[in-house]
Amino acid sequence: MEKIYPVLLLAAANIFMCFAWYWHLKIGNDKPIFLVILISWGIAFLEYSIQVPANRMGYRYYTVGQLKVMQEVITMVVFAFFSVFYMKEKLTLDFLFAGLCLVGAVFFMFRHAF
């Protein structure tokens, strides 16, 4: 059960990461770039405050390669929700195909773990 905590923390960190990187595209275009950078850094600080402990905890159970691939898959899932629900964009087949490539990466990184 403890193996799930790093996954949940990485998911939470990725939510902050999406906002740190992309929030300004929707509501920050009228703000000065320096202010946008400072706000993004503040959001990124919260992301790192979750991501670093998640990786430290996760390294007890997973290899660094597994953590990285897991993080990329989580990023794509979180980004899909972010794109649709916050940015109001449609997902395309290209997004699906990119996700399938990540499924292949997960297979190769975790195939000896089970």
- Domain encompassing residue 23: 4-110
pTM of the model: 0.84
Q: What distance in Å separates the CA atoms of residue 36 and residue 106, rounded to the nearest whole number? A: 35
Backbone angles phi, psi at 112, to 5 degrees: -95, -5
Residue 102: exposure state from Cβ atoms within 10 A (0-12, 13-18, ≥19)? middle
Residue 86 pLDDT > 90, yes or no?
Answer: yes
pLDDT tens digit sequence for 40-83:
999 999 999 999 999 999 999 999 999 998 998 899 899 999 99
Q: What integer pLDDT is reported at residue 74 of this predicted model?
A: 93
Calculate helix-pair angle for 64-81, 33-58, nearest 10 degrees. Answer: 130
Q: Please answer whether residues 53 and 80 qualify as being in contact, where contact means their C-beta atoms are separated by less than 8 angstroms.
A: no
For 50, 63, 108, the CA distances from 15, given in Å and listed in that order, are 11, 23, 26
Q: How many domains does the chain have?
A: 1
